[in-house]
Amino acid sequence: MRVGIIGLGLIGGSMAIDLRRRGFADETVGFDADSVNAAAAERIGIVDRLADYESCISLSDVIVLAVPAGTAAELLPGVLDRIACSDSGREKVVIDVCSTKSVLAECAGRHRMRRRYVATHPMAGTEYSGPWAAMSGLFDGHACIMCDPWKSSSDAVELVEELYSVLGMRLLKMDSSGHDMHAAYVSHISHLTSFALALTVLDKEKDEKNIFDLASGGFSSTVRLAKSSPDMWTPILMQNRENLLEAVDTYMERMGMFREAIADGDAESVRKLMSEANRIRKIIK
């Protein structure tokens, strides 16, 4: 089977590496609109070969759209148009790997090739981006959410199930709007809190050497996501705006409760809030 990867960054690149290495793909072809990324991906050996955008679609049995969420929304209808024009189009499968799903679900909408598209969100990554951040094993053991699988052909769903099984992912199925709500709480909001934390310390500690010298391991892990790519995260936050604003409001309310208790010298309330938060110990390893 030939797998075409559009977007050779962290996610697309890591998929290309393991789909080939683990035998799901006999050949991988890749395209990246950024010429530096494309050249680096070829040099590193992330894909077997580069192709232009059209060829990457026409040559491949499975097309992975591994681009930022805004770009994916722009490209998806065109990709589906293209496979409709091909004789082999009815067997091709298109997947995306975006962190937001409702906007893409609308884009695919009532396209006559809708059933060849499978919406997925492999929930794995690092704070780094670009082909040089791609790595084998990135997805192992993590969850992948497949959205609205009933809108896709069953053979397409089965192929994508196999693809993620090869990548070592646990597959969960839900509808797009449920996905976006959960994603706001267990992923998107934590990026915002991290970005805001970085801005806070950068604002206060004018001498960056102090941050470098003094930052604790705890601080580093909490601020890690603030290294994430604005190109990737801007469209995610904008597309998931409503869920995210609700999450931000709950978050600011909780932070406000801490602030008030600390300002009041109310140690008991501070302790109680922390004890309640400690429940996360039993859930997150």
* Contact assessment for residue 224 and residue 193, using Cβ atoms and an 8 Å cutoff: no
Residues near 274 by Cβ (< 8 Å), separated by ≥ 6?
A: none
Q: Which of 32, 4, 23 minimizes the C-alpha distance to 165?
A: 23
* Contact assessment for residue 53 and residue 27, using Cβ atoms and an 8 Å cutoff: no
Q: Which of residues 205-264 bind its own copies (CB under 8 A)?
A: 205, 208, 210-228, 230-231, 233-235, 237-238, 241, 244-245, 247-252, 254-256, 258-259, 262-263
Give the nearer residue to its own copies in terms of CB position, either 35 or 220: 220
Displacement of CA 175 from its chain's centroid (Å): 17
The CA-based angle 111-113-115, given to 5 degrees, is 105
**Given 35, 112, 206, 265, the residue binding its own copies (CB under 8 A):** 265
For residue 19, how many other CB atoms are within 10 A of its CB? Answer: 20
* Contact assessment for residue 128 and residue 227, using Cβ atoms and an 8 Å cutoff: yes
**Given 27, 143, 168, 177, the residue binding its own copies (CB under 8 A):** 143
Give the nearer residue to its own copies in terms of CB position, either 93 or 181: 181
Q: How far is the CB of 269 from its own copies (least distance, A)?
A: 10
Q: Is 196 in the site for its own copies (CB under 8 A)?
A: yes
**Given 63, 80, 145, 167, the residue binding its own copies (CB under 8 A):** 145
Q: Is 36 in the site for its own copies (CB under 8 A)?
A: no
The CA-based angle 59-9-136, given to 5 degrees, is 90
How many residues belong to the site for its own copies (CB under 8 A)? Answer: 92
**Given 130, 172, 173, 175, the residue binding its own copies (CB under 8 A):** 172
For residue 3, how many other CB atoms are within 10 A of its CB? Answer: 26
Q: How far is the CB of 12 from its own copies (least distance, A)?
A: 18
Give the nearer residue to its own copies in terms of CB position, either 55 or 229: 229
Stretch that binds its own copies, among 16-24, 55-63, 90-98, 185-193 (CB under 8 A): 185-193
Give the nearer residue to its own copies in terms of CB position, either 55 or 190: 190
| AA identity, residue 4 | G
Give the nearer residue to its own copies in terms of CB position, either 53 or 258: 258
Give the nearer residue to its own copies in terms of CB position, either 112 or 282: 282
Q: Is 112 in the site for its own copies (CB under 8 A)?
A: no
> Strand ranges (DSSP E) for the chain?
2-6, 27-31, 49-50, 62-65, 93-96, 117-122, 143-147, 170-174
